[in-house]
Amino acid sequence: MLQIINHGNVRELRLARPPVNALNPELVERLILTLRESAGECGAVVLSGREGLFSAGLDVVELMQLDRDGMKVFWRAFFELQETIACSPIPVVAAITGHAPAGGAVMCLMCDYRVMSDGDYRIGLNESQVGLIIPPVLQNAMVRLVGPRIGEQMLVAGATVDSQQALKIGLVDALEPAYDKTISHAIEWCQKLLSLPQHSVLGNRAIARAHFKQEFAENTDADIASFVDGWFSDETQVVINSLIARLKAK
Amino acid sequence: MLQIINHGNVRELRLARPPVNALNPELVERLILTLRESAGECGAVVLSGREGLFSAGLDVVELMQLDRDGMKVFWRAFFELQETIACSPIPVVAAITGHAPAGGAVMCLMCDYRVMSDGDYRIGLNESQVGLIIPPVLQNAMVRLVGPRIGEQMLVAGATVDSQQALKIGLVDALEPAYDKTISHAIEWCQKLLSLPQHSVLGNRAIARAHFKQEFAENTDADIASFVDGWFSDETQVVINSLIARLKAK
Amino acid sequence: MLQIINHGNVRELRLARPPVNALNPELVERLILTLRESAGECGAVVLSGREGLFSAGLDVVELMQLDRDGMKVFWRAFFELQETIACSPIPVVAAITGHAPAGGAVMCLMCDYRVMSDGDYRIGLNESQVGLIIPPVLQNAMVRLVGPRIGEQMLVAGATVDSQQALKIGLVDALEPAYDKTISHAIEWCQKLLSLPQHSVLGNRAIARAHFKQEFAENTDADIASFVDGWFSDETQVVINSLIARLKAK
């Protein structure tokens, strides 16, 4: 479900939940715990996926089996995962080894740096297309990277972009031609940071990311309630059920 | 004064107040009312102008005849128009069919998307050049599109740019070579959004634009008072009177 | 230490403290006083340096001789200098005539406009590399120009860029091939602004820069205390002492 691969002082957490690294309650919990442990055991973390796919986002099939309380618990954990990445005491880098839609993209937004495999891979918050509403704190994380104009337009349309376009608009920071290169680029980026005085690197980083802590603290409860209400609305259930029917038909 | 043209579920509001689609109290009021009505009657709105001119902005000749109370009423309505666009429950797109200086540009800033006719047309908030001070909520709408650096420099200098430069800096989102294409591009952009699940499109859109509602609520009264004081200051009256003299000499 | 050269209504303040225009308590104080005086005596100010060097930033050799109280006084003055530039009642333009690392770059961030000599000159906030933590209000000034994504990454890594890259990311607004051209470009930029109605130029400018006043008012005391604590921390003293050893070995 989650492979841990140490590269010296840099720890790679490789999503390994076939077939599409979908985020179910267990994987989200595992990510939170492993990220927290890692902060005391290494200097930086790389999140990666398999060749051609980083993560397809939420495991809607499994989540549709949850009742309202179960969904509330899951969504709180999903928020906690994003906060754990964004407010991590050590740098977290996304090695986006392929497609990264929806919840897969959200994790990338929270990272310090994003390197993506170049190719016909899509990244973006396509929630609008599947009937879901993205809470403010997650929208802001997108806007932080691509600006309010492009951010609003992509979020409203549920648009995804390919790797070249992602680089152009700042949704990712660099491209690499192959799977291995994507991961090694991420590791080298971490190693370069780790060669600098850590008290100033981490001190400056904490200031640059302080707004995340504040946003998560202020908004989480209301956002969770809204999202769960939306999830169980008739309109959203219809869209998700037809999405699941399409997935199963494949 | 304002033509209403329905294209299926997309309603075009075409500014038609010769010679320059200048915004006087009557046109501003008509726009507010028509936008509000449209929100219940169609899925999206396109604001357009005539070939070569979107709107020249405020009708300074008519406004100079207003006393302080009249100007206060007008300026409150002008703010209300901008809030009506920015906080519209349905998308509003600007088909910028030509020049769009000052108040003409302000309306465009509030829209969800801007497509401009490519050509030697100018767009920008040139208020600094004609002695007027742009309230914070309108400045912020500019900065939202082009960023704080370019935004400040353009606002302070009262700079306008041509269509190519507007695209480059993000002041508009797309260019089209001809009048008809500009309008049809805007309509198609709306139609694409209307093909998606509307509860999530509109839900995500409301979150992306929530800051507008807050800014208009917080700032309007003080901003109106400041603007009216500025309008009746000796310096501004001199600049506007010389502007009117130049317009009449044409 | 600081040459005053009047070009009509534009006053150039040329940093002239050999060998590297390092900011010591005396130069910072002189800059604050001269900027304040200038606001009543001219229409705009240009800050410049010598050919190949704008300013190397803080005079760490001299500052290392200060005790905690002395450092507190200096750092408060350094903040006051930045606030004096950012909140100046008249425009201040940076003619970045060469290298501008650390404190040299900070002054440039506060200006209305930045023109840099094209060449192998570096600009950026490299504090992370020398063990120093950049307070929020100064980080925000960087982010204001280059955006949150590039801003965070440069601030955390203590990265500097050359003139071409600085132009590309918006850290500077224009390049000029030679020393004289850099200064005359800055003067001409001011003259163009001075040809417009000053009440609206300065009124719009005050609104565009109002956030600076608020940020300096809210954060200064806590930021000064943090910085001084950091300066006297063991880790920072080690890094600065080794920096000074390297400087002396040259």
Cα(C108)–Cα(C146) distance, rounded to whole angstroms?
13
Cα nearest neighbour of C207 on chain B: B136
Contacts of B235 (CB under 8 A, 6+ apart): B131, C197, C199, C200
B215 pLDDT exceeds 90?
yes
Say yes or no for a CB contact (<8 Å) between C157 and A209.
no
The set of long-range contacts for C16-21, using a CB threshold of 8 Å and a minimum separation of 24, is C16/C50, C20/C53, C20/C55, C20/C56, C21/C49, C21/C50, C21/C53, C21/C54, C21/C55, C21/C56, C21/C104
Q: Give residue A220's pLDDT.
A: 79
Mutation target for A interface from C134, C149, C223: give the one with most A CBs within 10 A.
Answer: C149
Average pLDDT over residues B36-44: 97
Distances (CA, A) of B61 to B66, B156, B235, B243, C12: 10, 24, 17, 9, 42
Asked which of A84-88, B70-74, B218-222, C57-61 is least confident by mean pLDDT, the reply is: B218-222
User: Taking residues B13-17, what's their average pLDDT?
Assistant: 98
Calpha distance B32→C108 (Å, rounded): 44
Q: Per residue in A110-126, pLDDT tens? A: 999 999 999 999 999 99
Supply the mean pLDDT for chain B: 96
Q: How far is A176 from chain B (nearest CA, A)?
A: 27
**pLDDT for residue B219 is more than 80:** no
Query: Which run of H or of E encompasses A96?
Result: strand A92-96
Return the residue matching tokens 């970045």. Answer: C96
| CA-to-CA dists, residue C131 to A21, A193, C236, C239, angstroms | 40, 13, 5, 6
**Angle, CA A228 vertex, CA A226 and CA A230 arms, to 5°:** 70
* Chain B residues close to C208, C-beta within 8 Å: 139, 143, 148, 151-152, 155-156
| Sheet architecture: strand order including C92-96 | C2-7, C10-15, C44-48, C92-96, C113-117, C174-176
Q: Do B155 and C192 touch (CB under 8 A)?
A: no
Q: How far apart are CA A98 and CA B106, in angstroms?
A: 41
Binary contact (A158, B196; C-beta < 8 A): yes
Query: Which residues of chain A approach chain B closer than 8 Å at the C-beta?
Result: 127-136, 139, 143, 147-153, 155-158, 230, 233, 235-236, 239
Q: What is the pLDDT of residue B97?
A: 98
Minimum-distance CB partner of C156 among A144, A199, A201 = A201
| pLDDT over 80 at A205, yes or no | yes
CA-nearest residue to A235 within chain B is B199
Partners of C243 on chain A (C-beta within 8 Å) are none
Q: Which two tokens stand for residue A218?
A: 């202020």
pLDDT exceeds cutoff 90 at A221: no
Looking at CA atoms only, how far is residue A5 from chain C in angstroms? 25
pLDDT higher than 80, residue B137: yes
Q: Which among C115, C169, C196 is the top mutation candidate for probing chain B, defined by the most B β-carbons within 10 Å of its own β-carbon? A: C196
Cβ distance of C156 and A197 shorter than 8 Å: no
**Three-state DSSP state, A172:** coil
Q: What is the pLDDT of residue B191?
A: 98
Using CB atoms, pick whichever of A131, A135, A150 lies closest to residue B197: A131
For residue B222, the model assigns a pLDDT of 84
Question: Which other chains touch chain B, taking contact as 3+ CB pairs less than 8 Å apart?
Answer: A, C
- Cβ–Cβ gap A204/C158 under 8 Å: yes
- Contact at 8 Å (CB) between C8 and C46? no
* pLDDT for B221: 83
- Nearest residue in chain A measured CA to CA from B208: A152
CA C165 to chain centre: 18
Cα C136 from Cα B91, distance rounded (Å): 36
Is-contact A145 A155, C-beta < 8 A?
no
Q: Please, what's the largest Cα pairwise distance for chain B?
A: 54
Query: In terms of CA atoms, which chain B residue is nearest residue C189?
Result: B157
In whole angstroms, how large is the CA radius of gyration of chain C?
A: 17
Q: Looking at beta carbons, which residues of chain A come within 8 Å of C151?
A: 208
Closest CA of chain C from A11, distance in Å: 19
Whether the pLDDT of residue A219 is over 80: the answer is no
pLDDT in tens, A30-51: 999 999 999 999 999 999 999 9
The Cα–Cα gap between B125 and B103 comes to: 7
Q: Per residue of chain C (250 residues), give pLDDT as tens.
A: 999 999 999 999 999 999 999 999 999 999 999 999 999 999 999 999 999 999 999 999 999 999 999 999 999 999 999 999 999 999 999 999 999 999 999 999 999 999 999 999 999 999 999 999 999 999 999 999 999 999 999 999 999 999 999 999 999 999 999 999 999 999 999 999 999 999 999 999 999 999 999 999 987 788 898 899 999 999 999 989 998 998 888 7
Distance from B98 to chain C by nearest Cα, in Å? 25
pLDDT at position A243 is 87
Instruction: Write down the pLDDT at residue B218.
Output: 85
Question: Is residue A176's pLDDT more than 90?
Answer: yes
Q: Which residue has the tokens 């010769």?
A: B18
pLDDT at B41: 97
Q: Enumerate the β-bridge partners of residue B236.
A: none
Instruction: Compare all CA atoms of chain A with the CA of C223 and give the residue at the minimum distance.
Output: A207
